[in-house]
Amino acid sequence: MKNMLIASAVAAVLSIGPAGAMAASADDLAQIREQLQGLMQRVDKLEQENTELKAENENLKAQDDYLKAETKGLRKDAATLASDAGKVKGADWAGRITAKGDLRYRYEWIEDPTRQGVVSGLQGVNETEQSRHRIRARLGFDAKITDTLLVGLQVATGGDDPRSSNQTLGGASSRKAIGFDLAYFDWKFATWGNLIGGKMKYPFLRPGQSLFYDGDVNPEGLAMQFNRGMFFGSAFGFLVDERNNAARSSTSSSTPATTTLTNCIAEAGRTCSKDVYTLGAQIGARFPIGSSTLVAAVGYSDLKNGQGQRPFYNNNANGNTLTGPFSGLAYDYNIIEGLAEFNTQVGTLPLQVWANYAQNEDPDDLNTAWGAGVLLGKASNYRTWEAGFGYQVVEKDALFGQVIDSDFGDGTTDTEGWVIRAGWAPVRNTSLNATYFINSRFVDVPVNAVYGTKTDYDRLQLDFNMKF
């Protein structure tokens, strides 16, 4: 462009011709030259600006290509992050669930003179003895729904037996029954309190190895627990049985209910249409004594609408007194309970000493239970061990027979005797345990005229426990 402008300017000057050139003054030539020079400067400036615009255009094009590439990369990264976020969310949910379980293999030997006559017509059979192999399997999980709400579920062998999750091996390798063992929520509504509902573990403290309550019984209902400083406690309401006037007797699934007998005796102003439930509460404290701890608590429970009712599972009173034409429970069970547990250290070994006392306020006689024991060591970690013993007395109507331990004295009241136990953990999460019951049954009330009172009852259990 610059060369074309110069050529045009020269052509314009030459077109003047000689005459014109002579007529033109020196000033005119100087002015033309000055204009030509300014024009050339403007041309140079335009060329420079054009070059800069081309460079900027190239730069913008490069930036556009870069931005397109970056956008594509960001989209890919966003998709990856979304996928990772989903994985993190799934991992977070999985982290809120804790699985747990255990398996126990047991060999059990029982000697009970009252078994004579149970097996009849078989020669060479010692009817007083029984031996069997049993398993107990439990599998469950705890799910943390929120920071304050937990849900627990667990299934176990044993079918519908409320006091045992053991399953005896045999039966031509038949399938073993499994049922819901736990199904509850636990809401921590305050730093000091929890509300629990469903089928739950006992919400109150049981001392040491006390056998007032069977460890396999998981009551059903609602409970509130509190812990504040050294103090603790609970209040609970458990449903025992739903009943009405036309209700059939409660039995296991293997024993069909009958419609010919009512569930209770309508006497002394009682009705047969009310549900049976237990209300109770416990309060206690933990007292530090140097490096040791003393725990003490008192409690009260009341079986509502139970008196006069026929027994609640398999129609078995488990030793409680029965009366009336349909064998209803003779007494109410308004039980006051006290307990103490002292935990200390002997060298490197934990030592626990405990005691438990209960009295039923309804009957005037045979209404007291007590137990005490010692446990040294703890079979839990690698090559740790434990050993202990306890003594217990449960009079006939001291405790509600539906919930007492099913092993001591064959799971009935009116019993007394020793429990000797030992355990060793060969590796972590496993243990070998031995428990020997040296008991007496029918201590105060004879089973019949043949056996009289204080019938011996021995039971040996050898367990291999595995936890995971």
280-309, pLDDT tens digit by residue? 999 999 999 999 999 999 999 999 999 988
Closest CA relative to residue 225, chosen from 199, 201, 203, 200: 203
Lowest mean pLDDT across 11-20, 53-62, 217-226: 11-20
> C-alpha dihedral over 440, 166, 208, 431, to 10 degrees?
120
Is the pLDDT reported for residue 267 higher than 80? no
DSSP 107: E
Q: Which pLDDT band holds residue 462 (cuts at 50, 70, 90)?
A: very high
Query: H or E element: which one contains 190?
Result: strand 178-190
Is the pLDDT reported for residue 124 higher than 50? no
CA–CA–CA angle 357, 317, 154 (5° rounding)? 80
Asked whether 371 and 393 are in contact (CB, 8 A), the reply is yes
Q: Which pLDDT band holds residue 261 (cuts at 50, 70, 90)?
A: very low
- Report the predicted TM-score, pTM, of the whole model to 2 decimal places: 0.76
* CA dist 461 → 58, 134, 424, 429, 457 (Å): 90, 10, 14, 19, 13
Residues 6+ apart with CB under 8 A from 404: 211, 212, 213, 214, 318, 394, 411, 412, 413
Is the pLDDT reported for residue 259 higher than 50? no
Across the range 396-416, mean pLDDT stands at: 97
User: How many angstroms separate the first and last alpha carbons of the chain?
Assistant: 90
Lowest mean pLDDT across 29-43, 207-221, 270-284, 419-433: 29-43
DSSP 256: -
* Cα(98)–Cα(412) distance, integer angstroms: 37
Q: How many CB atoms lie within 10 A of CB 66?
A: 10
pLDDT of 52 reads: 77
Q: Which pLDDT band holds residue 56 (cuts at 50, 70, 90)?
A: confident
Is the pLDDT reported for residue 1 higher than 70? no
Closest CA relative to residue 199, chosen from 179, 216, 184: 184
Q: Which pLDDT band holds residue 34 (cuts at 50, 70, 90)?
A: confident
pLDDT of 32 reads: 76
Across the range 394-413, mean pLDDT stands at: 97
* Cα(275)–Cα(272) distance, integer angstroms: 8
pLDDT of 71 reads: 80
Lowest mean pLDDT across 50-54, 209-213, 342-346: 50-54
* Cα(123)–Cα(128) distance, integer angstroms: 13
Higher pLDDT, 452 or 23: 452
pLDDT of 248 reads: 43
Kindly report, residue by residue over 353-397, the tens digit of the pLDDT.
999 999 999 999 999 999 999 999 999 899 999 999 999 999 999
Q: Output the average pLDDT for the chain.
A: 85
Highest mean pLDDT: which of 85-94, 156-165, 258-267, 336-345? 336-345
Across the range 430-451, mean pLDDT stands at: 89
Q: Which pLDDT band holds residue 254 (cuts at 50, 70, 90)?
A: very low
* CA dist 338 → 289, 359, 400 (Å): 20, 9, 16
pLDDT of 274 reads: 83
pLDDT of 220 reads: 97
pLDDT of 304 reads: 94
The distance of Cα 250 from the centroid of its chain, to the nearest Å, equals 29
Closest CA relative to residue 283, chosen from 355, 333, 228, 362: 228
pLDDT of 11 reads: 53
Is the pLDDT reported for residue 26 higher than 80? no
Strands 455-467 vs 430-441: parallel, antiparallel or unpaired:
antiparallel
Q: Which pLDDT band holds residue 15 (cuts at 50, 70, 90)?
A: low
Higher pLDDT, 311 or 217: 217
pLDDT of 400 reads: 97
pLDDT of 250 reads: 45
User: 73 in helix, strand or coil?
Assistant: helix
Residues 6+ apart with CB under 8 A from 160: 177, 179, 252, 253
pLDDT of 182 reads: 97
